[in-house]
Structure 1
């Protein structure tokens, strides 16, 4: 594996890289979610956007509920503001989830656990109790890169807030571990390019919630270093429906292509599992590493609501720069 050099990308580029990396990875994988590998192979594999729709008067590649929920988290954090504590921020994020769940745009096959949590929130249930204890899917991991942006210079705090916010929709330890690992990994990748450090911080973040998820991330690292291990075998084993599998499979793709956004994301989405979530998580971490300049311009231009995503990324950057969230250096 490569990835030992420090990448010279400024914070604005990195924040935009996470925002667009999430959405683009999601959109690349969205059309083939639920497809088998033979079905994906029959399409010639995913090499570019497979689906374009007229959205807001423009032909664009649609993303799924993954990016919609990621946007809801980041909007919630921005509305809560720098001075909000975890409780205040979680309540604001929960409010954004309720709004999203009732939106006519919520027609992208949202997960059952996410919708159940939103219904419980809307009925007045406290956010720490709205998610089902047995829910261990990847629905919280796929949106937790927002905490990596917010606390870009504090990966441990990013992991803590992500792991706690998971309770809104998912109560199982593996879901909390997966979300914590994604947030910590994204935060670390924004500020540092040392690949072993990325792995360590994700493993440790997961370990705070679930030892088996932490071990799976260690296994991912081992597989990625072994050139005899084929990506197709890893992605068939870890299909990504569970929180632990989604993060382990995504980390594998990041480690195999630590400086190449296109290769990493395309490897992630050519999967017989939760292709859009694998694409979103892989895209977020690679976007954090290489920044917006490391992502294909045509993918940026053709993604759904590209101008809204640019505006969201700029607001997030301005906030963490001016308000010194995470200690800008």
Structure 2
């Protein structure tokens, strides 16, 4: 299975989980099962025959497009974090325009991202308050100079393209993870707003790099905690994430019922819970993309973000061909997502 297959799987998988969870994001688990039956939500809720994505996939695409644009403009220098992270920030500013302005933008608008030319992205799909407020200030948050104390999941849900693009670029897992953390810290200043982004970037990067050597998803997940301890040795909040990661692995190994797991892992509104829920669902159904993402969305909480992360992980692990076609066909912007995967994998 080649890099492109895993890249397509990750991006499409994340968008599928997002689109499944978006219509039920603010519903309680009881309401979901009351409305959709004893198995909960089992398929898309379509709008004009389209499975709509949320801000999670929108911002993931803008992260990816920032990388693609930086590679095209600065082919020898794009990996320099002093260039790449500001470029991501500028593309997030472009995403903000899609949430606050009408399409098309005036010719006088100064933009970086090619995505501002896609009318379907000029749609507000419950954008995160922290992302909106941070970007409106037009100042780029950093790990050392945070804009706020937010640990919402708006940082972690958008960084997977970094792991995909850095494959084969002679970049260490530590360098990749730090780029993920710095991309999240643009808007989320709490340690637990950006360290889970480092964890997800590491996990996906390792999965893509090591799967040819037969490394399992379970083995890669086990590597996360010691990796984070070495990367953030002075963190005052890391233990909270490590505890949830251990809990997620235990619950998946014991095949614990999903409702019990969600009570212990949280609702996913904050990044460490989002990642823990996604890891639990991905481990529990490591060979079944559909069951993994459906489990990830059927709970009280941030269903689109937990669905998106689960889809990203399982999509990268299983590959594009293992994703049921029925979830791809009605997916909004599927052609743009697949084209983005192609562009990310080009040298």
Q: TM tier, shorter chain?
A: 0.7 to 0.9
1:119 equivalent in structure 2: 136
- Which residue of structure 1 lines up, in the alignment, with residue 217 of structure 2? 195
Counterpart in 2 of 1:56? none
- The equivalent residue for 1:327 is none
User: Is 1:267 equivalent to 2:295 in the alignment?
Assistant: yes
Q: Pairwise mapping of residues 24-173 of structure 1 onto structure 2 (< 5 A)?
A: 24-42=16-34, 43-44=36-37, 45-53=40-48, 59-81=49-71, 83-84=77-78, 85-103=80-98, 104=102, 105-121=122-138, 125-128=139-142, 132-152=147-167, 154-173=172-191
Whether 1:283 aligns to 2:311 is yes
In 2, Cα distance between equivalents of 1:33 and 1:46: 12
CA distance in 1, matches of 2:312, 2:332: 16
Q: Which runs of 5+ in 1 are unaligned?
A: 1-8, 54-58, 323-329
How many residues in Structure 1 have an aligned counterpart in Structure 2?
Answer: 302
CA distance in structure 2 between the aligned counterparts of 1:67 and 1:133, rounded to whole angstroms? 23
Q: Which residue of 2 aligns with 1:6?
A: none
Q: Deviations over 1:137-189 (max 9, x none)?
A: 11111111111212236433221101112221000011111111111111122
TM-score, scaled relative to structure 1 = 0.87
1:232 equivalent to 2:259? Answer: yes
Alignment partners' CA distance in 2, 1:203 and 1:213 = 9
Partner Cα separation in structure 2 for residue 20 and residue 280 of structure 1: 9
SS of residue in 1 equivalent to 2:292: helix
Aligned mates of 2:175, 2:247 — CA distance in 1: 25
Does 2:201 match 1:180? no
CA contact 2:9–2:320 (8 Å) conserved in 1? yes
SS of residue matched to 1:102: helix
Tell me how large the CA RMSD over aligned residues is. Answer: 1.7
Q: Distance in 2 between matches of 1:116 and 1:94?
A: 14
Whether the aligned pair in 1 keeps the contact of 2:29 and 2:298 (CA below 8 Å) is: yes
Say if 1:204 and 1:141 are closer, same or farther in 2 by CA, change over 3 A: farther
Summarize deviations over 1:165-218 as a string: whole Å, max 9, x none.
222100001111111111111112223242333113322354425232122112
DSSP 3-state at the match of 1:13: helix
The C-alpha deviation readout for 1:275-321, integer Å capped at 9, x for no partner, is 00001000000000111101011211110011111111111122xxx
Q: Please say which of residues 125-134 and 86-95 is displaced more in the overlay.
A: 125-134
**How far apart, CA to CA, are the structure 2 residues paired with 1:126 and 1:309?**
26
Q: Is the 8 A contact 2:281 2:293 kept in 1?
A: yes
> How much does 1:130 deviate?
7.9
Greater displacement, 134-143 / 81-90: 81-90
CA distance in 1, matches of 2:301, 2:228: 22
Task: Give the conservation status (yes or no) of the 8 Å contact 2:184–2:197.
Answer: yes
